[in-house]
Amino acid sequence: MTATYDFGGRRAIITGGAGGLGRGMAKALMDAGAEVELWDMSASALAQARSELGPTVSVREVDITNVAAVEHAADTVFAGGRVDILVNNAGVLGEVKPVWETSPENFQRVLQVNLFGAYLVTRAVVGRMRAQAARHTTKNPHPLRGHVVNIASIQGKEGMAMAAAYSASKAGLIALTKSVAKETARDGIIVTAITPAAAETAMAKEISAERRADILGRIPMGRFVEIEEVARMVLWLSSDECSFSTGGIFDLSGGRATY
């Protein structure tokens, strides 16, 4: 039996929303009745996402590493009503090189997008989320103001050779998740993260065949995670069913790391 969710009347923001994973999560939330706004830097990718998802999806060109841009976007979205779900999904891979060959500028860029950008968006959205009324439902006697789901990576748990910047940024995102969850535990805001193995997205196409084989060989299930599998996990973590797991880091690695 397939789990079903009712997100009618709820609004979600997905960063990096124009990418394959962002679009997959958006479709799942929209199919469950949510209003979704995609944040992304690429106007052309946002236009493509909108043509794929339909005119009901909202899109916004936002540089999440820019404080003023994030604050303005958050002000505009909250002016239109409450936000119930934030998915911090934006990310870049960076160089696939040993650390002594990497560019400091590239390392800094990966941290800026994957960690600092997630911090800026969380700071802006959660700060405003705390001020909105808690939702009371018959299913959940404990009022909730919202859910934040951070898309980390299995590399944030394990590290990986030739991916120091990416691994460090995702490890930082895991720590950010745990810290913010403790700060909002009594506000009715649930903050979690998932740690997927590689998925068939544009990011996966950036790596060489040799690198791909190396990553695949580390996954006991012998395949990459499907976008729909990530989306299903996000649905549960964004729902009222997830009401006592704040700070949780949920494995989605095909057995690569199960802690």
**Catalytic, out of 5, 119, 166, 259:** 166
Task: Mention the CATH class of domain 11-252.
Answer: alpha beta
CA distance 149 to 180: 11
Confidence of residue 2 (pLDDT cuts 50, 70, 90): low
Residue 230 structure tokens: 């990530």
Q: What is the pLDDT of residues 63-110, one digit of tens each?
A: 999 999 999 999 999 999 999 999 999 999 999 999 999 999 999 999
- Which among 47, 45, 37 is positioned nearest to 15, based on CA atoms? 37
- Asked whether the predicted pLDDT for residue 141 surpasses 80, the reply is no
CA distance 109 to 120: 15
Active site residue 259: no
- Which among 49, 148, 129 is positioned nearest to 89, based on CA atoms? 148
